[in-house]
Amino acid sequence: MNLRRRPALAASTLLAAALLALTACSSSGGSSAKKGGPVTLTWWHNATTDPGKSAWQRIADAYHSAHPKVSFKVQPIQNEQFTTKVPVALQGDNPPDVYQQWGGGALATQVESGKLMDLTSATQGWIGQLGPGAKGWQAGGKQYGVPYDYHIVGFWYRKDLFQQAGITGAPATIDDLKADVAKLKAAHIAPVAIGSKDRWPDAFWWEYFVLRECPQATVTKSLAAKSLDDACFTKAGEDLKDFLATKPFQNGFLGTPAQQGAGSSAGLVANGKAAMELQGDWEMAVMPALATDKNFADKLGWFPFPSVPGGGGDQQAGLGGGDGFSCTTKATDACPDFLKYVASASVQRQLVQAKAATLPANPAANDAISDPTLKVVLAYLQKVGYNQLYFDQALPTSNGQALNEAVANFFAGQGSPKAVADSVKQGGS
């Protein structure tokens, strides 16, 4: 997948000025890059369109202005392409210096290439300010990446469309959600938007049912063993099958992208063409560029994935992860210093205010969140029993890709609940 998921970044001249000032105050003055000769860092990130593309370029320019010997060659890459481009690059002799990183098992797989820079020493003096979530960018107890924001997946919904369908509150149980789907269909409103063309959004559904059916210890142990043999995983697939039988999604959902264009799943909700979508907090940054109604945010609400009565899992568990960056061994000391800059509280506040990040990795920047719905999301993230990393990221790359493929096929009417669970073991063969 993967790729968590690209917020469409907003930008302004105010941000550019602030970044220049903040970079000038960066504590990186002692870096060997500044003392040595000129370096150019090739940087892969996943903001391929404006305003995000320009915002990250301004960040690079601001850092360069304060560190004239450090230049950037910024190469935006489409989100889903990272799954193939990064492994190929790490097998070659000319990988990027810094690239988008989502941590977990995928990071551990990449470490095996010997091309990722060990950031442990360079980050040990400051990584603690990002909280325990930064451990998601570790492998073997060593730091190989740095997050700049954290995420949790839940339902974004249109309060106005819920009202039209006679729905007075967010669903608390999966049966409530099924009832709401029926009410929305009766009101001739597409209940749920999904971008199945990109495949990874499908996996969110199966994974949440797993979290509701399987105890945390079972999930943790099974992912570590790359074997989902416990009956609760098959039960989760059966739950999903029952929900899919309600036909909750928009027409043509298998060919709908998640974030590209007004007809994407994010665009359908932003423009009032569908009532809700199971997606990450990043949708508040993705939707503005897709919406014809610039006041759409006032019509949005958020609720967590409903409980599954009788399920053996944590009914409050979340599903999420974060966005970050890794350096390769090709890079100089300028790379970890740049990541320190991006992770600093002052810069993170600017990124949040510009919608370059929704839930900052540095909690000291949480006070920059102004959107009332995002504050609800943050409050929920802070109280969840645990926030499970997306399964395809928690697993080694081949196993995670096999799981995503099996879930996508299941959405298309192929396979069985047990086949989805078995796919993880088969992916490693």
pLDDT tens by residue, 257-297:
999 899 999 999 999 999 999 999 999 888 988 998 888 99
- 146-158 and 138-139 strand pairing: unpaired
Q: Kindly state the tokens that stand for 7.
A: 């917020």
Cβ neighbours of 48 (radius 10 Å):
16
Residues paired with residue 318 on neighbouring β-strands, in sequence order: 387
Q: How confident is the model at residue 54 (pLDDT cuts 50, 70, 90)?
A: confident
**Mean pLDDT calculated for residue range 21-28:** 40
| Amino acid 389: pLDDT | 93
Q: How confident is the model at residue 429 (pLDDT cuts 50, 70, 90)?
A: low
Q: Kindly state the tokens that stand for 393.
A: 């990221």
* CA distances, 159 to each of 140, 172, 249, 282, 304 (Å): 45, 16, 18, 19, 15
DSSP state of 323: E
d(CA 98, CA 241): 41
Angle at 238 between CA 233 and CA 240, to 5 degrees: 95
d(CA 360, CA 348): 6
Q: How confident is the model at residue 385 (pLDDT cuts 50, 70, 90)?
A: confident
Q: Which residue has the higher pLDDT, 80 or 164?
A: 164
CB 364 within 8 A of CB 346: no
The CATH number of the structural domain formed by 152-319+386-427 is 3.40.190.10
Q: Which of 140, 147, 175, 180 is nearest to 161 (CA)?
A: 180
Cβ neighbours of 387 (radius 10 Å):
21
CB 7 within 8 A of CB 52: yes
| Amino acid 428: pLDDT | 61
Res 11 pLDDT > 60: no
Task: Answer yes or no: CATH 3.40.190.10 is held by domain 13-151+321-375.
Answer: yes
Q: What is the pLDDT of residues 190-249, one digit of tens each?
A: 999 999 999 999 999 999 999 999 999 999 999 999 999 999 999 999 999 999 999 999
Q: Give the distance from CA 312 to its chain's centroid.
A: 26
Look-up: residue for tokens 């890079």? Answer: 331
Q: Kindly state the tokens that stand for 278.
A: 């199971």
Q: Which amino acid is at 164?
A: Q
| Amino acid 12: pLDDT | 34
Q: What is the pLDDT of residues 172-195, one digit of tens each?
A: 999 999 999 999 999 999 999 999
Q: Kindly state the tokens that stand for 144.
A: 């190989």
Average pLDDT over the chain reads 89
d(CA 381, CA 359): 10
CB 268 within 8 A of CB 190: yes
Q: Kindly state the tokens that stand for 198.
A: 């990109």
Residues paired with residue 229 on neighbouring β-strands, in sequence order: none
* CA distances, 109 to each of 91, 105, 351, 423 (Å): 12, 6, 30, 18
Q: Which residue has the higher pLDDT, 400 or 23?
A: 400
Q: Which of 5, 1, 2 is nearest to 259 (CA)?
A: 5
**152-319+386-427 has the same fold as 13-151+321-375:** yes
Omega cis (within 30) before 336:
no
> Could you tell me the pTM of the whole model?
0.85
| Amino acid 52: pLDDT | 72
Res 367 pLDDT > 90: yes
Those residues whose C-beta lies under 8 Å from the C-beta of residue 193, and which sit 6 or more positions away, are 249, 250, 253, 256, 265, 266, 268, 269, 273, 274, 276, 277
Q: How confident is the model at residue 36 (pLDDT cuts 50, 70, 90)?
A: low
Res 19 pLDDT > 70: no
Give the residue extent of every domain in the chain.
13-151+321-375, 152-319+386-427
d(CA 273, CA 268): 5
| Amino acid 48: pLDDT | 80
| Amino acid 21: pLDDT | 40
Q: Kindly state the tokens that stand for 75.
A: 């190469």
Name the most confidently modeled range: 4-8, 46-50, 381-385.
Answer: 381-385
Q: What is the pLDDT of residues 110-164, one digit of tens each?
A: 999 999 999 999 999 999 999 988 999 999 999 999 999 999 999 999 999 999 9
- What burial class does residue 126 get, using C-beta atoms within 10 Å of its C-beta: 0-12 exposed, 13-18 middle, 19+ buried? middle
Q: Kindly state the tokens that stand for 176.
A: 């409530």
d(CA 217, CA 225): 12
Res 27 pLDDT > 80: no
- 318-327 and 190-193 strand pairing: unpaired
